[in-house]
């Protein structure tokens, strides 16, 4: 993992003192709420329905055990004993007191964390593959480049007042686990025919009210030129992105309205003008950062140990958990474990302080003290010896963290919705909770197989509903909550935006509607198909029929 | 309007001409809009005093180009502090088009942007209310290190790491 040096520490500490001053000016009445708003937003502090909400950055979703314990401490000391992991691989606290936020930030700074640029019209936390560095299908640990981007984008003098927020995601694997095609910039690190590493650069993806899949403007950018190329894109966007209408201000609209070809030409021209300037890092600095992400020295452990097979045979619940939550590791004898934060009836992505502490302990006992946050609002223990899986499962079970549903129907992404969010039109969390209760039977969800439900409480699409196999969007009609259902979205290397099935459903009809879709699929699927395959093969008609036949 | 320069409040010495206002006999420093400059008035080209250019936020550096070097002052307007185009305009006027005169931010900018404004090359800020000048000066001292190269030519963290390796321990 990356570790701060004196310079990184100085910047974060300076930022904490600066924000302490800004809060003091607000509390003393020197700043009105209106004047304070842009300042707090540059530091992740929102004013929500009931209270302030603070969003803490977890750069590219990687945490140490020490940092996770600090997040638990913050949940206890400044909040109501829990935190909410988000689709940006960050964590949100829903109940901090304004006057305590500077202390909270100081506690974070001690463990090399901050809330810089977790909101505002600036470059946000760069997200990445939660399996980075551990997956067999990658060319390099993508987090090297995420950290390079993190530093370059922090308090950027030119790009801190963009037309709108700006999100960058990086993946270095064949399978896209970071949804890079629905980001303002998606970067796919790969090798060319000559064996050199470089980025496929995609621009203009995004969700929100105008969902779009990113367009490739460069197939291969030599990796060492990343920052100058990003600077070129950001400069074109800062100058030409729309500022007349906040709903049309994202770069996707600029790309759409001027065409990907025009944007490519402008970016390339700008890049040619600056590519030899100082912004690209010297090779020794890239090497310094890369060294922090060197693979740990995994002690030899038996691959596919007999005890694991025996435990799976003996305990069906453990077997289900292994099937759903355990992924292959690049090193024989090890596994990547996803810890589901989607228990039946629980709010997706929430963890209590005790759970966070427990995960921190387990990451040290069964790994090297490293934890990842996924954009699907789960946690990952990236280095578990296969021999230890059973013991880990038992320990997770004691904390209510052994839910065996990763990628299954109850592994739902949901935004905070009307329970917390000032923008929401409808509740999201209770809908997710109700769906998990309906699909509480582990055998049943195992039979249903991979199926991703994503729920947003408004058109801003924080719950990624556009890219769910089943997407649910809360809307408001004459004071009532209604929910539109979309089908066929996906966020990965074959990214697609879902299409609306038809009329929206009332709050108490949604779970039945979802179940009708699932039952239709179960009745029609061919051998070995998952939901997405059946939908692709048969089209949407049978599902619409099942949803609306009674209309 | 009063200005902030080097943490001090200064009076504006420039006369800002409307597009149809004749060149004054009694001033030695005037600014004109880009539209007026582009009208190519002989009178303006023959003017012997100091000449300044006013840009609104949508008039980008490329529109001025190398002509920037003809001016002693360029003023960039911020209609709202959230309109960040002026940061790119300033960066490019200095780094690409060789402008070395005074760069001034006008309109709505806030104290907490001062650090960024100064980094991309602004020298002066026009302020409706000069009272909090000390606070503006303080804003420059709040952040001691920078990651990105910019027009202020501060040593960036990536460079500093390799110039003084001991400090990075």
What pLDDT digit, counting tens, does each position of A200-249 carry? 999 999 999 999 999 999 999 999 999 999 999 999 999 999 999 999 99
Kindly report the nearest CA distance between residue B48 and chain A, in angstroms: 33
Chain A CB contacts of B85 under 8 Å are 238-239, 243
- Asked if the Cβ–Cβ distance from B112 to A243 is below 8 Å, we say no
- Asked if the Cβ–Cβ distance from B145 to A273 is below 8 Å, we say no
8 Å CB contact between A371 and A351: no
- Chain A positions contacting chain B at CB under 8 Å are 5-8, 10-11, 14-15, 17-18, 21-22, 35, 38-39, 42, 121, 151-152, 154-163, 235, 238-239, 243, 273, 277-279, 281-282, 284-285, 288
CA gap A54, A92 in Å, rounded: 6
8 Å CB contact between B142 and B136: no
CA gap B85, A391 in Å, rounded: 56
Examine the pLDDT at A500 and tell me if it is beyond 50: yes
CA gap B30, B15 in Å, rounded: 5
**Per DSSP, what are the bridge partners of residue A178?**
none
Kindly report the nearest CA distance between residue B49 and chain A, in angstroms: 32
Examine the pLDDT at A292 and tell me if it is beyond 70: yes
Q: Give me the half-sphere count of Cα atoms (radius 13 Å) on the Cβ side of residue A270.
A: 24
**What domains, with CATH codes, occur in chain B?**
2-144 (3.20.20.70)
Work out the average pLDDT over A503-514: 97
The confidence score (pLDDT) of residue B130 equals: 67
- Interface A-B, measured as beta-carbon pairs within 8 A, has a size of 114
What pLDDT digit, counting tens, does each position of B29-81 carry? 999 999 999 998 888 888 889 999 999 999 999 999 999 999 999 999 999 99
What is the model's pTM?
0.96
The confidence score (pLDDT) of residue B169 equals: 45
Q: Which of A22, A102, A158 to mutate to test the interface with B (most CBs of B within 10 A)?
A: A158
CA gap B92, A209 in Å, rounded: 33
């Amino acid at each position: 993992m990356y570790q701060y040096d004196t310079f990184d520490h100085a910047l974060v500490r300076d930022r904490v003192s600066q924000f302490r001053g800004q809060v003091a000016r607000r509390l003393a009445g020197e700043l009105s709420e209106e004047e304070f708003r842009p300042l707090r937003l540059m530091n992740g502090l929102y004013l929500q329905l009931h209270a302030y909400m603070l969003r803490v950055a977890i750069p590219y979703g990687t945490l140490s055990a020490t940092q996770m314990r600090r997040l638990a401490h913050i949940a206890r000391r400044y909040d109501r004993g829990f935190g909410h992991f988000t689709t940006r691989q960050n964590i949100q606290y829903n109940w901090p007191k304004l006057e305590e936020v500077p202390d909270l930030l100081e506690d974070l700074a001690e463990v090399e964390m901050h809330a810089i640029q977790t909101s505002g019209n600036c470059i946000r936390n760069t997200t990445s593959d939660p399996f980075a560095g551990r997956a067999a299908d990658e060319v390099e640990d993508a987090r090297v480049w995420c950290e390079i981007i993190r530093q370059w984008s922090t308090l950027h003098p030119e790009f801190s007042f963009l037309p709108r927020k700006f999100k960058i995601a990086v993946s270095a694997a064949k399978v896209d686990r970071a949804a890079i095609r629905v980001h303002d910039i998606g970067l796919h690190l790969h090798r060319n025919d000559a064996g050199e590493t470089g980025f496929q650069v995609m621009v203009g993806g995004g969700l929100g009210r105008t969902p779009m899949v990113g367009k490739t403007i460069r197939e291969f950018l030599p990796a060492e030129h990343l920052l100058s190329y990003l600077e070129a894109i950001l400069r074109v966007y800062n100058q030409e992105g729309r500022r007349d209408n906040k709903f049309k201000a994202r770069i996707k609209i600029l790309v759409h309205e001027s065409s990907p070809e025009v944007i490519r030409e402008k970016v390339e021209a700008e890049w040619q003008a600056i590519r030899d300037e100082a912004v690209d890092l010297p090779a020794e600095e890239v090497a310094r950062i890369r060294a922090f992400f060197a693979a740990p020295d995994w002690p030899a452990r038996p691959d596919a140990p007999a005890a694991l097979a025996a435990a799976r045979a003996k305990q069906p619940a453990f077997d289900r958990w292994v099937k759903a939550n355990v992924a292959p590791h690049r090193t024989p004898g090890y596994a990547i474990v996803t810890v589901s934060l989607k228990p039946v009836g629980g709010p997706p992505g929430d963890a209590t302080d005790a759970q966070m502490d427990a995960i921190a302990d387990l990451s040290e006992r069964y790994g090297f003290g490293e934890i990842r946050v996924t954009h699907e609002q789960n946690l990952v223990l990236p280095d578990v010896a296969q021999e230890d899986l059973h013991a880990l499962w038992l320990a997770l079970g004691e904390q209510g963290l052994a839910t065996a549903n990763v990628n299954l129907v109850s592994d739902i992404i949901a935004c905070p919705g009307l329970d917390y969010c000032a923008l929401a039109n409808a509740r999201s969390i209770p809908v997710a909770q109700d769906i998990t209760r309906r699909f509480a039977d582990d055998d049943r969800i195992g039979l249903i197989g991979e199926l991703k439900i994503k729920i947003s409480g408004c058109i801003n699409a924080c719950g990624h509903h556009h890219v769910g196999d089943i997407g649910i969007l809360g809307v408001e009609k004459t004071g009532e909550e209604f929910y539109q259902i979309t089908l066929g979205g996906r966020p990965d290397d074959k990214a697609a935006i879902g299409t609306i099935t038809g009329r929206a459903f009332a709050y108490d009809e949604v779970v039945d509607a979802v179940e009708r879709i699932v039952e239709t699929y179960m009745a029609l699927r061919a051998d070995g198909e998952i939901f997405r395959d059946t939908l692709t093969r048969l089209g949407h008609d049978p599902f619409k029929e099942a949803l609306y036949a009674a209309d | 309007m009063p200005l902030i320069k080097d943490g001090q409040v200064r009076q504006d010495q420039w006369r800002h001409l409307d597009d149809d206002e004749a060149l004054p006999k009694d001033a030695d420093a005037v600014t004109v809009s880009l539209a007026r400059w582009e009208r190519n008035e002989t009178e303006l080209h023959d003017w012997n005093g100091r000449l300044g250019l006013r840009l609104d936020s949508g008039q980008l550096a490329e529109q001025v180009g190398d002509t920037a070097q003809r001016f002693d002052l360029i003023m960039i307007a911020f209609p709202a502090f959230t309109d960040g185009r002026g940061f790119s305009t300033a960066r490019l006027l200095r780094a690409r088009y060789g402008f070395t005169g005074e760069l001034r931010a006008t309109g709505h900018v806030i104290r907490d942007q001062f650090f960024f404004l100064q980094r991309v090359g602004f020298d002066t800020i026009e302020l409706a209310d000069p009272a909090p000048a000390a606070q503006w000066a303080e804003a420059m001292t709040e952040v001691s290190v920078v990651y990105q190269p910019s027009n202020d030519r501060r040593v960036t963290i990536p460079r500093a790491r390799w110039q003084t390796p001991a400090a990075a321990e």
